[in-house]
Amino acid sequence: MVRLIHTCLCLITGTHFCFAQTNILTTNPLAEQILLGNYNPADYAASTIVNVPSIIAAELNTRISPDSLKSYILKMSTFKTRNTGSDTLSPVTGIGAARRWVHEQFETFSAENEDRLVVSYLQFNQTICGVGQHRNIMAVLPGANPSNNGVILIEGHLDSRCNVLCDTACVAEGIEDNATGTALVMELARVMSAYTFENTIVFMATIGEEQGLLGANAFAAYIQQKNIPLRAVLNNDIIGGIICGKTSSPPSCPGLDQVDSTSVRLFSFGAFNSKHKQLARFIKLQYQKNILPQASVPMNVRIMSPEDRTGRGGDHIPFRERNYAAMRFTSANEHGDASNNANYTDRQHTSGDVLGADTDGDGEVDSFYVDFNYLARNAIINANAAAMAARNVPTPSDFTATRVGNQLTVNITPTSTGAYRVALRTSTNDWDSIFTLIGTTTGVFPCNPTGGLFASVASFDLHGVESLFSEEKLVAPSVSTNEPNEEPTPNIQLFQNRPNPFDEATWISFWVNEVPTYRSAWVQIVDLQGRVIEKIPVVLKQGLNETMYTHGYGVRGTFAYALVVDGQVVDVRQMIFAN
């Protein structure tokens, strides 16, 4: 929606917004050469090579500091506003001062790490809030293996806003949204540039997010134009606040002033066979393997069904739209849904999105809305996943999976590692089980004889680190073992919704062997009294069909859903609304 409005405004006013992005370039040409893989890795090599994953994970867990995260956020609160259209000349206030400060910090981190970071602006021309040229800020940590070039992006938007989108005069400290994400990106640049990774890692603070994901879009377009092999995007937006507002965008948080500092949400596009969901699952797996065993405060890493909160967007989307694996980290609780309607009292997207409150009247903020330890925990989850993905372990190019009764046979196209994982998923967004194969590419595993079964594979290296997982395949229920008296497999099968039970959003899917001749079809949601709550029109296609159902907040209980074709109920199942 945001975009459509801009294009019209550009056409109508020709001033405020113009969607055309031109002259996208890196102000430091070296940065472009690194991204293209045209460099000598020895020029950026650390004098002491630290590349053992367990050592890196343990050090990330201790070196990522809540205090330095706090120091960045305190500094960002001093720029008064970081609106994309705000002052670029003032040395102390506005987006210009803020971006120069981030650039300086990146330079400082590089100097602290043997000048291993290549710092640059990504500059582009576009009219946004009346300003014609804009700059994202990036620090590039060159990988050790440019011949097998690959890039991992960790990003968050630096720009802020208050109630009115292009109001550059109002106070817009934008602490939760999104000084927290920018601080996270900066801290990872400081800490991770001590290590050596196969892939190149880019730490980027974008601008223009509030006006339509514009800085991210410029970089995504640049990456595509230059054919840079971007392997994963970790977007961090509103990632440090713990207090729920009176309002919050669905999937919502429990209610005003409720606190949650031990869970984080991972949003990503799609359901079945989504590389974005597979990335979210990889992130969670690496956290559970490397960090959770040594975490003083365990985190609940939640893989959410939708790509973003209802009606909201984030910087991961322009990358997803260009088919780069991308996901978004956001805190469990948000203070507001940014609706800014008449009786909006929450902080998000207002001048109220500040550091905290001065409860004892001494002029100092003493009760912070951001929990710096929580933010550090989210930073560690990011860093650990990026470090493991940047090992560039090869993903198997293909595999086959067949299900006969409760046995699944998998054949994997070999990679150089000779060791593999087979991940199975049924009724949630998470993998149910992961099996290991060493020294062979074929395995037989136990599985459900019926229902939706989704398989994917990865390989893993000598340190046990997995590659990014392959595409997912739906392993159709076995048809070949039909004993003469056994029920023939129906042409259309409705699967159990995923996740189930669920809060707010769930995927309803069904399998069609052959598309029948029909006029209309829909998925019908009914309560146990038989009252129809919702009808979701569907178009039947051969194979797996999926549709997302969002039921809103605060309705619990068991409901049924049915697939109806030309008024006939083809199949029906029950599902549980958890809240």
Footprint of Zn ion (CB under 5 A): 177-178, 237
What tokens appear for 296 in the block?
């003083």
Q: Closest approach of Cβ 174 to Zn ion, in Å? A: 8
Strand 300-303's sheet: what is its strand order?
22-26, 118-128, 131-141, 200-206, 151-157, 230-236, 326-331, 263-267, 300-303
Residue 525's contacts (CB-CB under 8 Å, 6 or more residues apart) are 532, 533, 534, 535, 536, 549, 551, 559, 560, 561
Nearer to Zn ion, 72 or 399 (CB): 72
| Residue pair 421/458 in contact by the 8 Å Cβ criterion | yes
Largest CA distance in the chain: 83
Q: Closest approach of Cβ 314 to Zn ion, in Å? A: 7
Q: Closest approach of Cβ 319 to Zn ion, in Å? A: 16
Nearer to Zn ion, 237 or 430 (CB): 237
Nearer to Zn ion, 177 or 371 (CB): 177
Q: Closest approach of Cβ 281 to Zn ion, in Å? A: 24
What is the DSSP secondary structure assignment for residue 243, as one 8-state letter?
A: B
CA dist., res. 18 & res. 214, Å (int): 10
Nearer to Zn ion, 188 or 393 (CB): 188
CA dist., res. 215 & res. 177, Å (int): 16
CA dist., res. 519 & res. 157, Å (int): 47
Q: Closest approach of Cβ 570 to Zn ion, in Å? A: 43
Nearer to Zn ion, 235 or 493 (CB): 235
Q: Closest approach of Cβ 517 to Zn ion, in Å? A: 48
Nearer to Zn ion, 136 or 196 (CB): 136
CA dist., res. 162 & res. 277, Å (int): 32
Nearer to Zn ion, 334 or 430 (CB): 334
CA dist., res. 89 & res. 208, Å (int): 18
| Residue pair 106/212 in contact by the 8 Å Cβ criterion | no
Nearer to Zn ion, 238 or 458 (CB): 238
Q: Closest approach of Cβ 255 to Zn ion, in Å? A: 22
Q: Closest approach of Cβ 238 to Zn ion, in Å? A: 6
Nearer to Zn ion, 187 or 466 (CB): 187
Kind of pairing between the strands at 151-157 and 230-236: parallel
Q: Which amino acid is at 452?
A: G
Q: Closest approach of Cβ 521 to Zn ion, in Å? A: 38
Q: Which amino acid is at 34?
A: I
Q: Which amino acid is at 457?
A: V
What tokens appear for 40 in the block?
């000598």
CA 27 distance to own-chain centroid: 28
